[in-house]
Amino acid sequence: MSTDDKQTSSCSDAACGCGSAGAAAPVVTLQRRPRGTPAELPPPPGATLLRIPDMDCAVEEADIRRALAGVAGIRALRFQLTARTLAISAPAEVMPTALQAIGAAGYAATDVTPGRAGAGQAATGHAQAHSHDHAPGHAQEHGHDHGHGHGHDHGLQPGLVRLGAALALATVAEGLHLLGEGSTALRLLGMAVALGAIALAGVDTFRKGFKALLRLKLNINALMAVAVAGAFVIGQWPEAAMVMALYAIAELIEARSVDRARNAIQKLMALAPAEALVQQADGRWQAQPVEQVPLQARVRVRPGERIPLDGVVTAGQGTVDQASVTGESLPVDKRPGDALFAGTVNGTQELELRVMAAASDSTLARIIHAVEQAQSTRAPMQRLVDRFAAAYTPAVFALALGVALLAPTLLDWSWAQAVYRALVLLVIACPCALVISTPVTVVSALAAAARAGVLVKGGAYLEQARRLRAVALDKTGTLTAGRPRLVEQRVLAGDEALALRCAASLAGRSDHPVSQAIAAALADAPAGTPPLPVERFEALTGRGVQALVDGRALVLGNHGLVHERGLCDAALEAELQRHEAAGRTVALLADERQVLALFAVADTLRAESAEAVAALRAMGVVPVLLSGDNTATARAVAAEVGITEVQAPLLPEEKLRAIEALQQRLGPTAMAGDGINDAPALARADIGIAMGGAGTDIAMEAADVVVMNDDLRRLPALIRLSRRMTAVLWQNVALALGIKAVFLGFAVAGSATMWMAVFADMGASLLVVANGLRLLDGKGFTSRP
């Protein structure tokens, strides 16, 4: 038989989270929104929504992911198991290939994209045969209208009614079995009732199991179908009915829990309002769907409303609660020129903004997209578990076969006994709990991080974070606020006004924070003086800038730049030392012959930096400062936050080599930087962490982890989360395997019944899912009280 990885798919996917686990999950406490079923999420704009009737379990999802992995051009997949839908974000020309791949994997898919012509039509050849309604009233009503907000139990109800009926019938069958020992009529009635229960609960399982067996696959459906049919045949019909009903209930509950964990983040999308108040050409304000609002449009946000689109404040002043994007619990001050993010909540003031990004391209949309992608990558532990499960199912199947065939001769069991115990083994063979435990855990951890404003681009990074031995930190913008100010200026030679004008003209051309600080401070000083003409402007990476200013060759840059031109003297060196010891960065303006002026720039340390550094140290992680600035300044800043290891001055490519050296010397090394000029080092590090990612697209693309706000304490928190996640993963594996082992023992000893085995499996699944969902609480992760 084929033992390819389809077998991993045994089982119900998403295991279980039962209503109670669901209710306890903090996920649903999204601000000011009625709770909704996961299935209500609209597909991402432009995505194709497919209904795949045979996909309601994590294993089947894994199958389909695998099938689509080879299709180039797919940007993201969004699975909704309870609704049995898959939203594919991909260019239109990719869709036929994608549909083909899904078909080839044995799944029928129907295009149900809302509002698309032809939606509802079978998308693959053999769709028709299967698209009848398997979960009456349940699957169907979800994929479609998402708009209305119904209670969170809604999606569960119809399926539960049917399965509740199945369970009731199974119980009746059990009773009739006990009562009807002697009576043929009661026996026949009991059999009929049991058959009814199996039909109600097991149509799907039997159909899918049969299909799997035809393809020589051993998935959970095949196992259950064989077990239930076998039990019925050997006269254990009440048992067969009970097993089928319990199994189906467990599966439904599991699918819902998995969706719940998965949607913890995606529901954030619903936080951006659908409409914006836009100023029209004639000056009127009119509500318009956000998708139709053009860039640069002026949008008004009333007090207390959610910001509809990313933009820049043009009028008004107030505070905005940015928790949904950055995870910051405190409202942030906004004034004209500041960035606003879609989905965040305006305070008590009216704000006007200029739209800077399309709705589908907002920071929030990017976060959601990145999390979706992260969920489709598998952490190493997940791969390990999947591999194990793939071998485990056929192994137990073989064991069951052995028991049925050999035990009667070897162990002197009756045939009926042997077959029954073999069937129990089959039920135990379901590695559901095991398979489900890892994705639920990883997805919950990813979700917890994202809700705290930390975007982790894959479970693998989260798994690796706990192994970090060193964290390289950038100075500007990471340890410091990244908004340096000019604190001292002194003209050393020549005409004072002219020197300042030259410096302002030169600095104004650079976007380096040091230059910007100088330009900003000088801009308003000599009022009315127009900037001097600047020609042949050139940035000297990591050192400064040079140009012809009004025809004169000038440089503005660090000490090294001036020193190597032989323009330093003892007095200047002494003055530089004084500034550097205070942690200031000095830029010098010089012509070919002498230093003309000195500008000392200071950046404020972030309040959290020292705390974060101490926490890293306490975890056994060595913090290292890598700076482009001079040694003395870097050391002064490092000393203030408690970092002892400093490497400075480094050029960008030297930072990269420094990372490699740290990896050699200490082990896995992360690099935290602003993500803009540190890109190569971020890429080389085991985990590249971009700080303050909310504003910068480049950082969001380049890094493995994006901290949306600037809080360095998210780093130790990330490591803590990683440790916690790993602990939960191991707990879950132990739990799942332990429970199996116990029942395997009972089964072989002959004291386990089939329904006990199913119950144990369901219990194990519920436990591991509940355990995994615990991570959603983000405990120890945020600094929120």
Ligand X SMILES: Nc1ncnc2c1ncn2[C@@H]1O[C@H](COP(=O)(O)OP(=O)(O)OP(=O)(O)O)[C@@H](O)[C@H]1O
Would you please indicate which residues are annotated as catalytic (active-site) residues? 474
- Of the candidate residues 111, 328, 386, 629, the single one contacting ligand X (CB under 6 A): 629
**Nearest distance from residue 513's CB to Zn ion, in Å?**
22
Q: Which partner from the list Zn ion, ligand X, none does 543 bind, CB cut-off 5 to 8 Å by kind? A: ligand X
- Closest to ligand X by CB, 193 vs 638, is 638
Residue 647 lies near ligand X (rule: CB under 6 A): no
- Of the candidate residues 510, 709, 753, 771, the single one contacting ligand X (CB under 6 A): 510
Residue 568 lies near Zn ion (rule: CB under 5 A): yes
Residue 464 lies near ligand X (rule: CB under 6 A): no
- Closest to ligand X by CB, 510 vs 771, is 510
- Which range in 232-240, 298-306, 461-469, 624-632 contacts ligand X by CB under 6 A? 624-632
649 cis-preceded (ω within 30 degrees of 0): yes
| Number of Cβ atoms within 10 Å of the Cβ of 34 | 12
Residue 669 lies near ligand X (rule: CB under 6 A): no
Residue 623 lies near ligand X (rule: CB under 6 A): no
- Cβ partners under 8 Å of residue 185, min gap 6: none
Residue 544 lies near ligand X (rule: CB under 6 A): yes
Cα atoms in the 13 Å half-sphere on the side-chain side of 515: 23
**Nearest distance from residue 549's CB to ligand X, in Å?**
14
Choose among 535, 533, 525: nearest CA to 500: 525
Residue 691 lies near ligand X (rule: CB under 6 A): no
- Closest to ligand X by CB, 256 vs 512, is 512
**Nearest distance from residue 367's CB to ligand X, in Å?**
25
- Closest to ligand X by CB, 267 vs 475, is 475
Choose among 508, 444, 504: nearest CA to 257: 444
Residue 391, phi then psi, degrees to nearest 5: -85, -30
Residue 50, phi then psi, degrees to nearest 5: -110, 140
> CA-CA-CA-CA torsion for 764, 105, 368, 96, nearest 10 degrees?
-170
Residue 675 lies near ligand X (rule: CB under 6 A): no
- Cβ partners under 8 Å of residue 556, min gap 6: 503, 506, 507, 510, 515, 518, 544, 545, 546, 587, 588, 589, 590
- Of the candidate residues 11, 556, 616, 773, the single one contacting ligand X (CB under 6 A): 556
Q: Which partner from the list Zn ion, ligand X, none does 515 bind, CB cut-off 5 to 8 Å by kind? A: ligand X
Which x/- pattern, by CB under 6 A, does the window 466-495 give for ligand X? --------xxx-------------------
- Cβ partners under 8 Å of residue 454, min gap 6: 327, 705, 706, 707, 708, 714, 717, 718
- Which range in 134-142, 553-561, 679-687, 775-783 contacts ligand X by CB under 6 A? 553-561
Residue 515 lies near ligand X (rule: CB under 6 A): yes
Dist. CA 441–CA 446, nearest whole Å: 9
Q: Which partner from the list Zn ion, ligand X, none does 512 bind, CB cut-off 5 to 8 Å by kind? A: ligand X
Residue 9 lies near ligand X (rule: CB under 6 A): no
- Closest to Zn ion by CB, 163 vs 562, is 562
Residue 768 lies near ligand X (rule: CB under 6 A): no
Q: Which partner from the list Zn ion, ligand X, none does 568 bind, CB cut-off 5 to 8 Å by kind? A: Zn ion
Residue 558 lies near ligand X (rule: CB under 6 A): yes
By residue count, the chain amounts to 785
Q: Which partner from the list ligand X, Zn ion, none does 545 bind, CB cut-off 5 to 8 Å by kind? A: ligand X
Residue 583 lies near ligand X (rule: CB under 6 A): no
| Number of Cβ atoms within 10 Å of the Cβ of 737 | 18
- Locate 387 and state its tokens: 């591999």
Contact 649, 627 (CB under 8 A): yes
- Of the candidate residues 587, 641, 715, 739, the single one contacting ligand X (CB under 6 A): 587
Q: Which residue has the tokens 């340390």?
A: 605
Dist. CA 314–CA 336, nearest whole Å: 5
- Of the candidate residues 37, 444, 627, 782, the single one contacting ligand X (CB under 6 A): 627
CA 700, 703, 704, 706 dihedral sign is: negative
Dist. CA 110–CA 126, nearest whole Å: 10
Tell me the residue nearest to Zn ion as measured from the CB. 568
Buried b (16+ CB within 10 A) or exposed e, 319-351: ebbbbbbbbbeebbebeeebbbbbbbbbbeebb
Q: Which partner from the list ligand X, Zn ion, none does 476 bind, CB cut-off 5 to 8 Å by kind? A: ligand X
Residue 545 lies near ligand X (rule: CB under 6 A): yes
Dist. CA 660–CA 681, nearest whole Å: 9
Dist. CA 430–CA 674, nearest whole Å: 47
- Closest to ligand X by CB, 308 vs 544, is 544
- Closest to ligand X by CB, 119 vs 491, is 491
Number of residues that bind Zn ion (CB under 5 A): 2
Binding site for ligand X (CB under 6 A): 474-476, 510, 512, 514-515, 539, 542-545, 556-558, 585, 587, 627-629, 677
Judged by the rule CB under 5 A, the positions of this chain that interact with Zn ion are: 563, 568
